[in-house]
């Protein structure tokens, strides 16, 4: 299969799903409840209120590890790119949801409505790339996402990833659903814990450098 066809297969259903009304509506008002519902019925909560707030103590540990220009993949409403901008740092967010990008810009950040698999500014020159808030799940194919992140990052650069708090390695079919049962289109998602991420990272030319926990959240620092 050609590379552009692979990219389309990975991104189109998820792009459409994250632009669906339940998610966009929640971002518009800045609150949930909202979750991803798996096809086995289990729920994965989406922390809309936290995403729309100022960076918390755990976010601060991520911001402190950012070096060079920063690319935030799946930036959501832009709390991290806005915080970096206030610190005088070069930072860009990318997200497939127009409302998320609009909120990021209103908050003072720079953001593009674009998939990570689309052509992006500064490819191969970002000092730090972020996959926070579970965004290692984007596309349901962590190996492809890690390879893409390597293409975006400068030699010697860093990838900071928020992982699941449990030892998990799964690919699931999900859809966004609100408290009233309104749902978006189905798409593929992934969940990785620290061990699974570090194992997959080596196959994509990343080297595990550090792990840390903060405020109940788990993170991994990878380097090229």
In this prediction, residue 169 carries a pLDDT of: 97
**CA-wise closest residue to 44 among 200, 220, 164:** 164
Q: 138 to each of 27, 57, 65, 185, how far by Cα in Å?
A: 18, 24, 22, 15
- Eight-class DSSP state of 161: E
| Candidate CATH numbers 2.60.120.10, 3.40.190.10, 3.40.50.150, 1.10.10.10; the one for domain 3-223 | 3.40.50.150
Helices H, strands E: what count in the chain?
Answer: 8, 11
Residues with Cβ < 8 Å from 65, sequence gap 6 or more? 128, 158, 160, 221
Q: What is the pLDDT of residues 96-129, one digit of tens each?
A: 999 999 999 999 999 999 999 999 999 999 999 9
In this prediction, residue 88 carries a pLDDT of: 97
From CA 195, how far away is CA 174, in angstroms rounded? 23
Structure tokens at 48: 């809309």
Query: What is the chain's pLDDT, residue by residue, as a tens digit (224 residues)?
Result: 333 333 333 444 454 544 457 999 999 999 999 999 998 899 999 999 999 999 999 999 999 999 999 999 999 999 999 999 999 999 999 999 999 999 999 999 999 999 999 999 999 999 999 999 999 999 999 999 999 999 999 999 999 999 999 999 999 999 999 999 999 889 999 999 999 999 999 999 999 999 999 999 999 999 99
In this prediction, residue 145 carries a pLDDT of: 98
pTM equals: 0.90
In this prediction, residue 21 carries a pLDDT of: 76
Domain residue spans in the chain?
Answer: 3-223
Q: Determine contact, residues 162/1, Cβ cutoff 8 Å.
A: no
Return the SS3 of 63: helix
Q: Determine contact, residues 49/32, Cβ cutoff 8 Å.
A: yes
From CA 68, how far away is CA 165, in angstroms rounded? 28
């Amino acid at each position: 299969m050609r590379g552009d066809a692979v990219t389309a297969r990975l991104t189109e259903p998820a792009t459409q799903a994250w632009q669906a009304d339940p998610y966009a509506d929640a971002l518009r008002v800045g609150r949930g409840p909202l979750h991803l519902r798996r096809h086995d019925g289990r729920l994965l909560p989406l922390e809309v209120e936290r995403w729309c707030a100022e960076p918390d103590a755990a976010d601060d540990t991520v911001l402190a590890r950012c070096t060079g220009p920063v690319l935030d993949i799946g930036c959501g409403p832009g709390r991290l790119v806005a915080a970096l901008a206030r610190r005088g740092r070069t930072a860009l967010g990318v997200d497939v949801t127009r409302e998320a990008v609009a909120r990021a810009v209103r908050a003072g950040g720079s953001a593009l409505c674009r998939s990570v698999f689309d052509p992006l500014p500064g490819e191969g020159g970002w000092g730090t790339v972020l996959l926070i808030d579970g965004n290692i799940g984007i596309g349901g194919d962590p190996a492809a996402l890690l390879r893409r992140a390597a293409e975006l990052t400068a030699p010697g650069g860093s990838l900071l990833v928020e992982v699941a708090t449990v030892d998990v390695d799964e690919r699931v079919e999900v859809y966004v659903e609100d408290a009233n049962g309104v749902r978006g289109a189905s798409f593929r998602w992934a969940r990785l814990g620290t061990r699974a991420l570090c194992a997959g990272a080596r196959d994509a030319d990343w080297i595990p450098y550090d792990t840390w926990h903060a405020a109940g959240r788990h993170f991994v620092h990878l380097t090229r």
